[in-house]
């Protein structure tokens, strides 16, 4: 149905789950943290930031790259590449969900038709018993006993001519 490999579909489901859970850090808490980190880096140098506890994984990676001594251009390239890869993953997941939304109604119709064909095939097999020559008694019995559906035929009892009431 979906023409993607299983890891890509699983990744799309993970991306879709992020729509329901907010894992982002509060931006109002980030500003004082950045100011404190900048002041500490100016006074003690970038190496002093190595032991800092940073909750945002993207910012922690940025600080770690700076502590490792990489140039600002290389840090910018690395983080831009990471953001574009993240955007590509989210776009791929979005395309998978759009495909699923586009094909879901037709899959529902196909399921309905398959179910309807199975019911009709089952009824056809049971109604074929009517051709056995027993007047339909066996098929009436089988329909009531096996299907769980309401009676499809009236249950007329054959009366003997001697027990019939005379007509007036």
> Mind listing the pLDDT tens digit for each residue in 70-113?
899 999 999 999 999 989 988 888 888 888 889 899 999 999 99
Residue 134 pLDDT > 70: no
Q: DSSP letter at 156?
A: P
User: Helix (H) and strand (E) counts for the chain?
Assistant: 5, 0
Q: Which two tokens stand for residue 107?
A: 């899959």
For 9, 22, 74, 162, 163, the CA distances from 166, given in Å and listed in that order, are: 77, 84, 108, 10, 9
pLDDT, position 89: 86
Specify if 77 maps to a domain: yes
Residues 56 and 25 sit within 8 Å (Cβ to Cβ): yes
What value does the mean pLDDT take over residues 35-51? 88
Residue 121 pLDDT > 80: yes
Chain center to CA of 116: 25
Residues 99 and 105 sit within 8 Å (Cβ to Cβ): no
Specify if 81 maps to a domain: yes
Specify if 18 maps to a domain: yes
Specify if 37 maps to a domain: yes
> Mind listing the pLDDT tens digit for each residue in 147-167?
555 544 544 555 555 555 556
Question: Where do the DSSP E strands lie in 4-64?
Answer: none
Specify if 42 maps to a domain: yes
In the chain, pLDDT over 70 holds for what percent of residues? 73
The structural domain count of the chain equals 1
Tracing tokens 């056809």 back to the chain, one arrives at 124
List the domain range (segments joined by +) for residue 54: 6-107
Burial of residue 59 (number of CB atoms within 10 Å: 0-12, 13-18, 19+): middle
Specify if 159 maps to a domain: no
Specify if 63 maps to a domain: yes
Specify if 96 maps to a domain: yes
Distance CA 34, CA 76 (A): 17
Q: How far apart are the first and last CA of the chain?
A: 71
Residues 143 and 151 sit within 8 Å (Cβ to Cβ): yes
> Mind listing the pLDDT tens digit for each residue in 122-133?
877 766 655 555
């Amino acid at each position: 149905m979906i023409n993607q490999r299983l890891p890509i579909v699983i990744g799309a489901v993970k991306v879709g789950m992020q729509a329901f859970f907010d894992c982002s850090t509060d931006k109002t808490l980030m500003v004082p943290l950045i100011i404190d980190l900048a002041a500490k880096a100016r006074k003690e140098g970038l190496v002093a930031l190595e032991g800092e506890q940073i909750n945002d994984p993207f910012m922690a990676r940025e600080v770690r790259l700076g502590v490792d001594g990489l140039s600002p251009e290389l840090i910018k390239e690395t983080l831009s590449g990471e953001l574009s890869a993240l955007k590509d993953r989210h776009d791929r997941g979005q395309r998978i969900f759009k495909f699923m939304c586009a094909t879901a109604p037709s899959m529902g119709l196909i399921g309905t038709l398959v179910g309807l064909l199975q019911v009709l095939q089952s009824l056809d097999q049971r109604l074929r018993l009517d051709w056995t020559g027993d007047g339909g008694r066996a098929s009436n019995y089988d329909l009531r006993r096996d299907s769980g559906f309401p009676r499809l035929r009236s249950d007329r009892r054959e009366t003997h001519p001697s027990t019939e009431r005379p007509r007036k």
